[in-house]
């Protein structure tokens, strides 16, 4: 009789009466993932029953499928677990285990946005993000990431619904770009809306735009740090070179940049002639583009 033809009996069994099979293919289990599953079991119990062989002469059931669930249940402190008792011939056991782990449509993870919406609804039942994250046995940072797809703006959500964005992950990255550079994000959104049927805005394009925005911000911070005068009132005497005094600051050095040249460059770049920082940032971008380090997002 094959496994498919055997009758199943549901029962609650003491974990001490279930023994693992040394021949089970699952030999390596991630400890962090196991702790996460154990946390789930502590909260809601074992949702999916184990599948075990009928008890032997000593009263022990040999596990067929559910190695991780059994270990996590023990880790969670469970004394008894739900099981399905089914006879399985030795020659078919391995195939049953592999088919169960392959899934083959039996267990399919929720789509990322559906999962995010579900987690968001659960989170709303808690007073703070911290307590909600603790309920899931995760960090607040994880919770923010897990619910990101539930908080997409209408425009980005519409692109995802219409198939103009390649994935939920792309949509989340696009939302990050909105916060960093709304104008650039709007440009990508407009271009995505105009893509021909069947074409999508891919994640690599959005990631590149985010990377470029991060690099531009770092360059601006570096320029600002280099051009901002240091207040002597904020300096300690130990910060000064030997022989100098807070009461006798060194004379200010004059800029070596010709104002006339600055104005000419500003006119060429279409910038205000007095904003030397913006001019420098633009020149850096132009130079990188010339050297092939910068690229258009499309």
* DSSP β-bridge partners for residue 84: 10, 51
Residue 129 to residues 137, 144, 147, 148, 202, Cα–Cα distance (Å): 12, 9, 11, 13, 31
> How far apart are the C-alpha atoms of 67 and 61, rounded to whole Å?
13
User: Structure tokens of 125?
Assistant: 């039942």
Other beta carbons within 10 Å of 148 = 20
Q: Considering only residues 97 and 219, tell me which one the structure prediction assigns the higher pLDDT.
A: 97
Half-sphere exposure of 103 (CA within 13 A, CB side): 4
**Mean pLDDT value of segment 247-256:** 47
Give the pLDDT score at 274: 55
For range 255-272, the mean pLDDT: 65
Highest mean pLDDT among 37-46, 107-116, 277-286: 37-46
pTM for this prediction: 0.56
What would the pLDDT profile of 25-68 be if each residue is shown by its tens digit? 888 888 888 998 999 999 999 999 999 999 999 999 999 999 99
Cross-strand pairs, 63 = 52
Between the CA atoms of 11, 14, 17 and 23, what dihedral angle is there, to the nearest 10 degrees? Answer: 80
Give pLDDT, residue 229. 56
Work out the angle between the directed axes of helices 203-227 and 168-180 (0-180°, nearest 10).
20
**DSSP per residue, 253-269:** PPP-S-HHHHHHHHHHH
Of 20-24, 145-149, 272-276, the least confident: 272-276
Q: Which residues contact 79 (CB under 8 A, 6 or more apart)?
A: 14, 15
Q: Which of 192, 208, 212 is nearest to 200 (CA)?
A: 192
Name the helix (H) or strand (E) containing 80: strand 80-85
Distances (CA, A) of 123 to 41, 140, 213: 19, 11, 32
Between β-strands 61-65 and 18-19, what pairing exists: parallel, antiparallel or unpaired? parallel
Cα 266 to Cα 258: distance, rounded to the nearest angstrom: 12
Strands of the 80-85 sheet, one edge to the other: 9-14, 80-85, 50-52, 61-65, 18-19
60: exposed, middle or buried (C-beta count within 10 Å: 0-12, 13-18, 19+)?
Answer: middle
Which carries the bigger pLDDT value, residue 41 or residue 278? 41
DSSP state of 18: E
Quote the pLDDT of residue 111: 80
CA-closest candidate to residue 118, choices 150, 141, 143, 145: 150
């Amino acid at each position: 009789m094959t496994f498919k033809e055997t009758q199943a009996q549901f029962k609650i069994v003491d974990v001490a009466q279930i023994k693992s099979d040394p021949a089970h293919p699952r030999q390596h289990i991630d400890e962090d993932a196991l702790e996460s599953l154990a946390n789930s079991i502590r909260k809601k119990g074992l949702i999916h029953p184990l599948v075990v062989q009928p008890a032997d002469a000593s009263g022990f059931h040999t596990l067929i499928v559910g190695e991780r669930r059994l270990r996590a249940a023990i880790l969670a402190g469970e004394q008894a677990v739900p099981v399905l008792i089914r006879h399985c011939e030795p020659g078919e056991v391995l195939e049953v285990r592999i088919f169960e782990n392959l899934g083959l449509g039996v267990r399919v993870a929720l789509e990322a946005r559906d999962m995010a919406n579900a987690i968001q609804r659960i989170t709303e039942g808690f007073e703070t993000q911290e307590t909600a994250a603790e309920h899931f046995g995760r960090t607040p940072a994880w919770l923010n990431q897990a619910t990101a797809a539930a908080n997409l703006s209408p425009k980005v959500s519409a692109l995802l619904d219409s198939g103009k964005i390649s994935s939920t992950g792309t949509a989340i990255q696009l939302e990050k770009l909105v916060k960093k550079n709304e104008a650039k994000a709007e440009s990508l959104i407009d271009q995505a809306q105009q893509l021909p049927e069947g074409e999508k805005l891919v994640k690599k394009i959005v990631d590149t735009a985010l990377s470029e925005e991060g690099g531009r911000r770092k360059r601006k911070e570096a320029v600002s740090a280099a051009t901002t005068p240091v207040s002597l009132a904020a300096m300690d005497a130990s910060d000064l070179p030997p022989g100098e005094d807070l009461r006798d600051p060194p004379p200010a050095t004059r800029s070596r940049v010709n104002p006339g040249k600055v104005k000419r460059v500003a006119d060429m770049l279409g910038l205000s002639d007095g904003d030397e920082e913006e001019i420098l940032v633009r020149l850096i971008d132009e130079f990188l583009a010339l050297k092939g380090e910068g690229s258009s997002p499309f």
